A and B are shown apart, each in its own frame.
Chain A
């Protein structure tokens, strides 16, 4: 399962944690002494020996800014120490590691850094705490980022930073971005014909999570959804078939999307666009600063980002990505962990992350006024609009499995092994079958439905 959220240049993912264990060892030793000393003095169970573990990246600017912020937190909370636990940057591997730890009921790490599509899975499994019961407040955050972190009426994670699907367009080839998919196709075709741009439009068409986000954006544009609010699978609606047909025809009929894109992920599309080979690209915000770098980019100063276009019957839709912070259900220090969550999602830390690593804050009010001006490539007012257009992927504990089923059928239709209707009907049938099998079908009250432990009253709402 690849959440398709953030994809950094490969160099940033190289692990260099060789020095960490010994340092951690020393730290543990020092702490042990400190705790023993405290116990000997008869110090009560106040904040005196709380150690929190926080998993995160080990390298680069990301690791440095996190270190700075954790140090700042410790300075403000002398009774709490935060230790970093190095985890892989690759989402798949991190997910697997988390599942191993949490299945073993390990109390560490106390904090978990989740991809946006994992929260319901971890909540339903009982692996993370409902943090609203501890007193966390979701009001300052964008409502769509909060929606992705709720399960059965409870809040399970705080949004740390947000990602959204963007339409990158070339300012030297057109005056303004297209509003509709039909317009996009026309402009792309013209650019290929008259401006000798090799490709009209590039997106992520390989069989992986990224394909689902691209499809979700087309689907929303045509007025469809993968799953409705009551949990029914609606991906095989007419809108779905129109959206998938549009995508397939863009590849095989109009030829604006290269066939090779059916094997591409984020980076291949970025290379094509920054080499000046494409008029449009669908990608995440991470690509923006990289393409503004004149050293490696041929389109610096000649592109901008907009929302994806809308089709007939729908509205402009971006896929919502991003990272969330949750608390391990087996933590020994839930309140201290919540303190850390609040601290990391406080305005000061968010602004700092925006400045240092270019991540978009999840607090709405930061986009008003001048706080963020000049810190991010997209101006705050515009960024806010783009974020508000972002739609979470289906919020369900089995999202990854549903996505797997959908990816296969989408790819079959796009590679012309099945027609769009047939492919989506197969996907929908399999997805409904899966929901029924695991007791998550809409209206299913049999058996022990996930997430019940927190509040029995919630049962009747679903």
Chain B
């Protein structure tokens, strides 16, 4: 008994020793920068105004953010962008996944082809969409004016609402394949026998989807949601290239505002506070989702 306990203790110690390097790396590359940013966010540090010094100001930067109209507007834009793109991508991705899940000739080729938009670098995709929505001969205006929907000289990027259209379309175009792939993996884990059983019980196509596919796909959907929500919340490059956050700041997400504060105004303290807020919100979202996921996994998968 005593010998066994000693063995266990030794094994446990060995275990700790083995994870130390990994923990060290995490500490160095993840926690250290985070702690540094948190510390910096408690200081006034305007690189362009060295005469103001580098004093500790407590939570003043956070207080400033909470009173900053541009900050709240940016948070609103981010939430809107996240809800709109993730919603559309889930629905379209599910349709795509269901289609690809059927057996047909050339399925492998189709699956590869569908992934193409996802493989295009975001900046390149954003530039493509900017050209497509350009005023001088952009394909969107050519097509839509033929349909009589917009004027051929319509300028998408100077309307606070219309400017969202290319932004959201570009993200949906680019990320739907990724969503479809994740959901397809989930679909393939569903036992075909369940569909047979449902059919024998007289379930129609909709019932089979509603009572077999959807519940069993839930874990995959949740994983997808986590990935996409956290990604969409930090959206930067797409907007930076497409609209630059404009007109005015009508399409500016929080990551772009943070970039502006940090790298244009060189306000390291305030920019760090904004970074910390993005981190806290995404972290909170992740925790929420993981809790939800965990419950669902034990409740249904276990």
Give the B-binding residues of A (Cβ under 8 A).
1, 92, 96, 99, 103, 121, 124-127, 206-207, 258-260, 262-263, 397-398, 400-401, 404, 408-409, 411-412, 414-415, 417-418, 438-439, 448-450
Contact across chains for B247 and A411 when beta carbons are under 8 A apart: yes
Q: Could you say which residues of chain A place their CB within 8 Å of the CB of B129? A: none
Are the C-beta atoms of B49 and A263 separated by less than 8 Å?
Answer: no
A296 to chain B, nearest CB (A): 17
- State the CA gap A210–B52 with chains docked (Å): 29
**A–B complex contacts, Cβ < 8 Å, 12 sampled:** A125-B50, A207-B248, A259-B155, A263-B158, A398-B49, A400-B264, A404-B260, A408-B248, A415-B247, A415-B250, A438-B46, A438-B49
Does A103 lie within 8 Å of B50, measured CB to CB? yes
B263 contacts which chain A residues (CB < 8 A)? 96
Give the chain A neighbours of B260 by CB distance below 8 A: 404
Q: A259-B155, A262-B157 are in contact. List 16 more A-B contacts (CB 8 A).
A: A103-B50, A125-B49, A260-B136, A260-B155, A260-B158, A263-B135, A263-B157, A400-B48, A400-B265, A401-B265, A404-B260, A412-B247, A412-B248, A412-B249, A415-B246, A418-B248
State A262–B155 Cα separation when bound (angstroms): 9
Minimum CB–CB distance from B210 to chain A (whole Å) comes to: 44
Q: Could you say which of B49, B136, B248, B250 contacts A397, with CB atoms under 8 Å apart?
A: B49
Q: Is there an interface contact between A99 and B266, defined as CB atoms closer than 8 Å?
A: yes
Given A260-B155, A262-B158, A263-B155, are A417 and B52 neighbors across the interface (CB < 8 Å)?
A: no
Place the interface of chain B in its size category: 20 to 34
Tell me which residues across on chain B come within 8 A of A206, comparing CB atoms.
Answer: 244, 246
Q: List the B residue with the shortest CB-CB distance to A126.
A: B50
Contact check, A404 vs B264: say whether CB atoms are below 8 A apart: yes
Write the chain A residue with the least CB distance to B260.
A404
Question: B276 near A: Cβ within 8 Å?
Answer: no
Tell me whether B153 is interfacial, beta carbon within 8 Å: yes
Residues on B with beta carbons closer than 8 Å to the beta carbon of A417: 160, 247-248, 250
Q: Does B159 contact A (CB under 8 A)?
A: yes
* Set A263, A398, A411: member contacting B248, Cβ < 8 A: A411
Given the complex, which residues of A lie within 8 Å of B244, measured CB to CB? Answer: 206-207
B264 touches A125 (CB 8 A): no
Alpha-carbon distance A1/B266, docked complex (angstroms): 11
Q: B97-124 CB contact bits vs A (8 Å, 1 = yes)?
A: 0000000000000000000000000000
Please pick, from A124, A258, A408, A439, the residue contacting B249 in the complex, using a CB distance under 8 A.
A408
Contact indicator A438/B52 (Cβ below 8 Å):
yes
Shortest CB distance A126–B (Å): 7
Question: Bound complex: CA of A180 vs CA of B31, how far in Å?
Answer: 62
Determine if B51 is an interface residue (Cβ-Cβ < 8 Å): yes
A401-B265, A404-B265, A408-B249 known; A121+B48 contact, CB < 8 A: yes
Give chain B interface residues in 70-115, CB to chain A under 8 Å.
70
Quick one: which of A1, A263, A404 has the most chain B CB within 10 A?
Answer: A263
On whether the beta carbons of B247 and A259 are closer than 8 Å, the reply is no
Using Cβ atoms and an 8 Å threshold, which residues of chain B touch A412? 247-250
B198 near A: Cβ within 8 Å? no
In angstroms, Cα B49 to Cα A449, docked, is 11
Contact B49 A124 (CB under 8 A): yes
Q: Looking at the complex, which one of A103, A207, A398 makes contact with B247 (CB distance below 8 Å)?
A: A207
Q: Give Cα A408–Cα B247 distance, bound, in whole angstroms.
A: 8
In the complex the two chains form, what is the Cα distance from A231 to B158 in whole Å? 33
Residues of B at the A interface (CB closer than 8 Å) are 46-52, 70, 135-136, 153, 155, 157-160, 244, 246-250, 260, 263-266
Partner pick for A415 among B48, B135, B159, B265, CB 8 A cutoff: B159
- In angstroms, Cα B83 to Cα A325, docked, is 51
Q: Are B155 and A125 neighbours in the complex by a CB distance under 8 Å?
A: no
B249 CB → nearest A CB, Å: 6
Question: B47 contacts A103, CB within 8 Å?
Answer: yes
User: In the complex, how many angstroms separate the beta carbon of B183 from the nearest chain A beta carbon?
Assistant: 37
User: Which of B48, B135, B157, B158 is A125 in contact with, Cβ under 8 Å?
Assistant: B48
- Across the interface, do B50 and A415 meet the contact criterion of CB distance under 8 Å? no
CB distance from A99 to the nearest CB of B (A): 6
| Minimum CB–CB distance for B179 against chain A, Å | 31
Tell me the complex Cα distance, A401–B265, Å: 7
CA distance A1 to B46 in the complex (A): 15
The chain A residue with its CB closest to the CB of B135 is A260
CA distance A121 to B51 in the complex (A): 11
CA–CA, A277 to B302, complex, Å? 70
User: Chain B residue with minimal CB distance to A2?
Assistant: B264
Chain B residues closer than 8 Å to A263, beta-carbon distance = 135, 155, 157-158
Question: Judging by beta carbons under 8 Å apart, are B250 and A125 in contact?
Answer: no
Residues of B within 8 A of A398 (CB): 48-49
Q: In the assembly, what is the distance between CA of A103 and CA of B48, in Å?
A: 9
Quick one: which of B50, B135, B248, B266 has the most chain A CB within 10 A? B248
Which of B46, B153, B246, B265 contacts A207, CB < 8 Å? B246
**A262 to B162 Cα, complex, angstroms:** 14
For A258, the chain B residues whose CB sits under 8 A away are 153
Q: Which residues of B contact A449 (CB under 8 A)?
A: 51
In the complex, A55 Cα to B34 Cα: how many Å? 35
A398 to B136 Cα, complex, angstroms: 37
A1 to B264, CA, bound (A): 6
CB-based nearest A residue for B49: A438
CA distance A411 to B136 in the complex (A): 21
Chain A residue, CB-CB nearest to B265: A401
Q: How far is the CA of A404 from the CA of B250 in the complex (A)?
A: 15
Which A-chain residue is minimally distant from B266 (CB atoms)? A99
Q: How far is the CA of A438 from the CA of B52 in the complex (A)?
A: 7
| Contacting residues, chain A, for B158 (C-beta < 8 A) | 259-260, 262-263, 414-415
- CA separation between A450 and B248, bound complex, in Å? 31
Complex contacts, B247 vs chain A, CB 8 Å:
207, 262, 411-412, 415, 417
Q: How far is the CA of A397 from the CA of B46 in the complex (A)?
A: 12
Complex Cα gap A68–B84 (Å): 58
Query: In the complex, what distance in Å separates the CA atom of A401 from the CA atom of B48?
Result: 10
Query: Complex formed: what's the CA distance from A409 to B247 in Å?
Result: 10
A453 nearest in chain B by CB position: B51
Give CA–CA (A418, B52) in the complex, Å. 34
**Residues of the B chain whose Cβ atoms lie less than 8 Å from the Cβ of A207:** 244, 246-248
CA of A418 to CA of B247 in the docked complex: distance in angstroms? Answer: 11
A96 contacts across to B, CB distance below 8 A: 263, 266
Structural contact, A125 and B51, CB atoms closer than 8 A? yes
CA distance A96 to B265 in the complex (A): 10
Contact assessment for A415 and B51 in the assembled complex, using a CB-CB cutoff below 8 Å: no
Chain B residue nearest to A259 (CB atoms) is B155
Chain A, residue nearest B64 (CB): A437
Cα distance A259–B153 in the bound complex, in angstroms: 9
Cα A263 to Cα B266 in complex, Å, equals 25
Which A residues are CB-close (under 8 A) to B265? 400-401, 404
Complex: A277 Cα to B155 Cα, angstroms: 18
